[in-house]
Chain A
């Protein structure tokens, strides 16, 4: 079913169904409870709900999974955001003296939004996305995932499709959750290369020597650049986009590069600025229409320049990074108390579920194939197959009454296209559970000592 079949007007009708039968509450609680290692970790977590007509309720908090379920089923939020773990229960924040209610911990989060790439993608703008520009998100995930793991040593990274035009990353390691505001902003700045707003043309400037982190990132970008930038975006095809690229090439050395071809002319004019690299390149580009070859011409110029000038010049790398390097919304990552849309929340505009992305299948991840709420609710109405029927009989026999409702819910989502995303979430949680198992053991050992 295409996503266009979703109509936001029907949300009030299908949200109750989603929260009653499909939302993966037990996994969700398992995640945010973090094995119960720290006291009140789940209880002091802020949730905030966006209700019908954009009514925004902050500082919700719940003591148990059951309470969370009941409340969500009652409120049927259009959107769920997750905030920080506070010093007190967020829903009682008014009862404690102001100043003592403080955000203590939160996952380190990253928000990458396609709107921030508007100056370098020609296919869409603002909130629109298409398969041509989605590669940018793939690159972003590859670059950041590598850096967060290899450089910072984090292990538990949950990548989530936001439901519309971007991706989020939740770094769930204990060390990441405890980072201070200053540390978060340092991490975010370490990872940011593209700087400047609409008033800046050249947004990536590399200094010499190139830091190992940038080298590693370049390896990723170079892998995608030909197919993404040269073919899909065709940045060296149309005149306007060519001009944009040329504007990023340096003015100064210009003449040295053409002196090889026209040394006599250059000498005759004797002004180094007379013939510029740009016009030179522009001429070359006129004879050469194929984007790949044009790019090679540009790379040649860069190589020549590197060979001749003392300090490294990296303008071809800078162009690649400006077009492809992930653009972070730094403010989201900085604040401990910043809210971010929760996984498995619905995106009210598109109806798509905010689902975890399986990095093993990242290259084939298609945001348009992510199920909408109307789609999975419809799938629920399909008649069961005999096989499914048999299985469910069995499980009901095995389990007692109380668990029956729970297991029905599990069976429910398994019958929809949400299943594979919940499975991915489960795998993520299993790996993480191993880390806190060790910690719990240590704790209980300590208790026995006494």
Chain B
């Protein structure tokens, strides 16, 4: 591999210097030789850490006290290593964005953990030097600075140093309108400087990920690494519910009844509005279409399903074939760059592409007015005490837990035996519960009544078998970890 030849150019001195700092931008790749076993351990440790951070991000508000406490505990327990840039080798399909966001979270936490002096030192070491504004300028902008920074009174503004930074370097602050913005420059109070560093880190990380993605074919041709990498990325992302095993197990007639019984609220809501309006906008079509694909609709069924509904509305069959059929085939990887898209996870539904006017997609627990949600839950016959519990969870921003509570209430189970992170998982679990005892009975019935098989819950797919014997042991441990997580 190329790595070894590069190593020789650098002295070990620069190496030790590099790792002596508590925080790194990962500008240089690791230059020393590492053994395969080491690589594997690093990668697994890093993955465990990232996965933990991701899960924490779901259950706690980022940077809240609780979150930090948890993160602290978890990261200590895992004893993470600074040197595991092995994750750079990970990008493989969907895991890319997950690695990206969680790495950024981790970095944020660690930067905040530094002493002020270390922060400054870090800024200087990485050439992030910005000008502070003059006293006169601060006076002139005083009112604007006060009213654009949340936590400041007039007096604190006077004591604070403000940096004048191009807005491109402080995107998080711009996005949230947390700073004053004028003529392309933001005015950042000293304490918010972490945002700039994060922004820089993000740029570097995405560049690095893109570069690694490009060199991936070369790495994959290394037969020592390939099985390991494959397995790592698979285990990290977890079940993606794209497997084609259940294709054709659902008939179109069943969808209405299934939507009441086994669909999570988000899908039930989209389904209902589709039936009512005979139309869905793009966001809804994507979220719902991929979900349906995940529960086992074939391409032909999907086309039939959407067409029959749309032509009841303003769209005629001809228009449908021209304007909508393409995007459905696209979803199934039959058009364009032929990516076989996977159903959206809860994280994706909650965090990206929030619904706007005329949209019905998104997560009802996240994107509905609590009052409207309450009414809806009443219609769906959720008990008043249950509704209170759900609203309480929403208040704490635990949307997935709220959904899980909804599952428990509507399925009459005491405590769900899984931790919900995917609408398709909800569906599978629901089918499992509903099939309940009957499942065993049906197995004996099955030969006589083959059609009834269609309602049977698709069993959770076992993780793909590892390619080689010697990785199997290691990966088993990893699997169990990720399933617990």
Q: State the A residues within 8 Å of B (CB).
A: 53-54, 98-100, 115-119, 150-154, 175, 179-180, 182-183, 185-187, 189-190, 194-202, 207, 209-215, 327, 329-331
Complex interface: chain B residues within 8 A of A54 (CB): 322-323
How far in angstroms is the closest Cβ of chain B from A331? 7
How far in angstroms is the closest Cβ of chain A from B249? 31
**B356 in contact with A187 (CB, 8 Å):** no
Q: A53-B322, A186-B171 are in contact. Are A196 and B181 (CB under 8 A)?
A: no
Q: A153-B183, A187-B174, A199-B369 are in contact. Are A212 and B357 (CB under 8 A)?
A: no
How far in angstroms is the closest Cβ of chain B from A304? 23
B284 closest partner in A (C-beta) = A197
**B355 in contact with A197 (CB, 8 Å):** yes
**A210 in contact with B355 (CB, 8 Å):** no
User: Does B337 touch A at the CB level, under 8 Å?
Assistant: yes
**A99 in contact with B367 (CB, 8 Å):** no
- Residue from B148, B353, B356, B372 whose CB has the most chain A CB atoms within 10 Å: B356
How far in angstroms is the closest Cβ of chain B from A278? 14
| Segment touching A, from B65-73, B358-366, B410-418 | B358-366
Complex interface: chain B residues within 8 A of A117 (CB): 357
Q: Please report the C-alpha to C-alpha distance between residue A54 and residue B172 in the assembled complex, in whole angstroms.
A: 40
- Residue from A115, A152, A200, A331 whose CB has the most chain B CB atoms within 10 Å: A200
Give B332-373 as 1s and 0s: 1 = Cβ < 8 Å from A's Cβ atoms: 000001000000000000000111111111101001110111
Complex interface: chain A residues within 8 A of B203 (CB): 180
User: Does B8 touch A at the CB level, under 8 Å?
Assistant: no
How far in angstroms is the closest Cβ of chain A from B457? 30
**A153 in contact with B184 (CB, 8 Å):** yes
Q: Please report the C-alpha to C-alpha distance between residue A144 and residue B354 in the assembled complex, in whole angstroms.
A: 21
B5-25 interface (Cβ within 8 A of A):
none
Contact-residue bracket for chain B: 35 or more
Q: A54-B322, A186-B174 are in contact. Are A151 and B357 (CB under 8 A)?
A: no
**B172 in contact with A186 (CB, 8 Å):** yes
**B147 in contact with A98 (CB, 8 Å):** no
Complex interface: chain B residues within 8 A of A180 (CB): 168, 203
**B184 in contact with A152 (CB, 8 Å):** yes
Q: Please report the C-alpha to C-alpha distance between residue A183 and residue B206 in the assembled complex, in whole angstroms.
A: 14
Q: A116-B357, A152-B184, A212-B180 are in contact. Are A201 and B213 (CB under 8 A)?
A: no
What are the 8 tightest A-B residue pairs by CB atom distance, in nearest-first order? A153-B184, A197-B355, A153-B183, A199-B368, A186-B171, A197-B359, A209-B147, A186-B175
**A151 in contact with B182 (CB, 8 Å):** yes
A-B contact pairs, 25 of them (CB 8 A): A100-B214, A115-B358, A116-B357, A116-B358, A118-B358, A152-B167, A180-B203, A182-B202, A183-B171, A186-B175, A189-B175, A190-B175, A196-B369, A197-B356, A199-B367, A199-B373, A200-B369, A202-B369, A209-B147, A210-B147, A212-B144, A213-B181, A327-B356, A327-B357, A331-B353
How far in angstroms is the closest Cβ of chain B from A183? 5
Q: Please report the C-alpha to C-alpha distance between residue A199 and residue B367 in the assembled complex, in whole angstroms.
A: 7
Complex interface: chain A residues within 8 A of B269 (CB): 199
User: Does B123 touch A at the CB level, under 8 Å?
Assistant: no
Complex interface: chain B residues within 8 A of A207 (CB): 150
Instruction: Count A-B pairs with CB separation below 8 Å.
Output: 118
- Residue from A182, A211, A215 whose CB has the most chain B CB atoms within 10 Å: A211
Give B175-201 as 1s and 0s: 1 = Cβ < 8 Å from A's Cβ atoms: 111001111110000000000000000
B181 closest partner in A (C-beta) = A151
**B175 in contact with A197 (CB, 8 Å):** no
B146 closest partner in A (C-beta) = A209
- Beyond A115-B358, A153-B185, A199-B360, 9 additional contacts (C-beta under 8 Å) are A118-B358, A183-B171, A197-B354, A197-B357, A197-B358, A199-B368, A199-B373, A207-B150, A209-B148
B152 closest partner in A (C-beta) = A209
Q: Among the listed B171, B322, B369, which residue makes an inter-chain contact with A182, where contact means beta carbons less than 8 Å apart?
A: B171
**A185 in contact with B214 (CB, 8 Å):** no
**B372 in contact with A211 (CB, 8 Å):** no
Q: Please report the C-alpha to C-alpha distance between residue A400 and residue B147 in the assembled complex, in whole angstroms.
A: 63
Q: Among the listed A187, A189, A196, A209, which residue makes an inter-chain contact with B355, where contact means beta carbons less than 8 Å apart?
A: A196
How far in angstroms is the closest Cβ of chain B from A374? 24
Complex interface: chain A residues within 8 A of B183 (CB): 150-153
Q: A152-B167, A199-B368 are in contact. Are A175 and B323 (CB under 8 A)?
A: no
Q: Please report the C-alpha to C-alpha distance between residue A119 and residue B355 in the assembled complex, in whole angstroms.
A: 14
A98 closest partner in B (C-beta) = B337
Q: Please report the C-alpha to C-alpha distance between residue A215 and residue B174 in the assembled complex, in whole angstroms.
A: 16
B199 closest partner in A (C-beta) = A182
**B146 in contact with A198 (CB, 8 Å):** no
Give B146-178 as 1s and 0s: 1 = Cβ < 8 Å from A's Cβ atoms: 111010000000000000000110011011110
**B168 in contact with A183 (CB, 8 Å):** yes
How far in angstroms is the closest Cβ of chain B from A187? 7
Q: Please report the C-alpha to C-alpha distance between residue A213 and residue B180 in the assembled complex, in whole angstroms.
A: 8
Q: Among the listed B148, B172, B185, B364, which residue makes an inter-chain contact with A199, where contact means beta carbons less than 8 Å apart?
A: B364
How far in angstroms is the closest Cβ of chain A from B387? 16
A152 closest partner in B (C-beta) = B184
Q: Please report the C-alpha to C-alpha distance between residue A212 and residue B361 in the assembled complex, in whole angstroms.
A: 32
How far in angstroms is the closest Cβ of chain B from A311? 12
**B357 in contact with A119 (CB, 8 Å):** yes
Give B293-329 as 1s and 0s: 1 = Cβ < 8 Å from A's Cβ atoms: 0000000000000000000000000000011000000
**B184 in contact with A198 (CB, 8 Å):** no
Q: Please report the C-alpha to C-alpha distance between residue A330 and residue B354 in the assembled complex, in whole angstroms.
A: 10
How far in angstroms is the closest Cβ of chain A from B273? 8
Complex interface: chain A residues within 8 A of B180 (CB): 212
B236-283 interface (Cβ within 8 A of A):
269, 273
Q: A98-B337, A179-B168, A182-B171 are in contact. Are A198 and B360 (CB under 8 A)?
A: yes
Complex interface: chain B residues within 8 A of A212 (CB): 144, 147-148, 180
**A185 in contact with B185 (CB, 8 Å):** no
How far in angstroms is the closest Cβ of chain A from B179? 9
How far in angstroms is the closest Cβ of chain A from B198? 11
Q: Please report the C-alpha to C-alpha distance between residue A214 and residue B181 in the assembled complex, in whole angstroms.
A: 12
Complex interface: chain B residues within 8 A of A153 (CB): 182-185
How far in angstroms is the closest Cβ of chain B from A385? 45
How far in angstroms is the closest Cβ of chain A from B209? 12
How far in angstroms is the closest Cβ of chain A from B403? 15
Q: Please report the C-alpha to C-alpha distance between residue A180 and residue B210 in the assembled complex, in whole angstroms.
A: 14
How far in angstroms is the closest Cβ of chain B from A310? 14
**A185 in contact with B175 (CB, 8 Å):** yes
Complex interface: chain A residues within 8 A of B174 (CB): 186-187, 190
B435-485 interface (Cβ within 8 A of A):
none
Complex interface: chain A residues within 8 A of B371 (CB): 201
B167 closest partner in A (C-beta) = A152
Complex interface: chain B residues within 8 A of A99 (CB): 213-214
**A116 in contact with B356 (CB, 8 Å):** yes
Complex interface: chain B residues within 8 A of A201 (CB): 369, 371-372
B361 closest partner in A (C-beta) = A197
Give B201-231 as 1s and 0s: 1 = Cβ < 8 Å from A's Cβ atoms: 0110000000001100000000000000000
Complex interface: chain B residues within 8 A of A197 (CB): 354-362, 367
Q: Please report the C-alpha to C-alpha distance between residue A151 and residue B177 in the assembled complex, in whole angstroms.
A: 11
- Residue from A115, A179, A199, A200 whose CB has the most chain B CB atoms within 10 Å: A199
Q: Please report the C-alpha to C-alpha distance between residue A295 and residue B476 in the assembled complex, in whole angstroms.
A: 67
How far in angstroms is the closest Cβ of chain A from B422? 21
- Residue from B168, B213, B373 whose CB has the most chain A CB atoms within 10 Å: B168
**B357 in contact with A118 (CB, 8 Å):** yes
**A198 in contact with B359 (CB, 8 Å):** yes
**B359 in contact with A150 (CB, 8 Å):** no
- Residue from A185, A190, A214 whose CB has the most chain B CB atoms within 10 Å: A190
How far in angstroms is the closest Cβ of chain A from B444? 45
**A190 in contact with B181 (CB, 8 Å):** yes
Q: Please report the C-alpha to C-alpha distance between residue A195 and residue B355 in the assembled complex, in whole angstroms.
A: 8
**A199 in contact with B147 (CB, 8 Å):** no
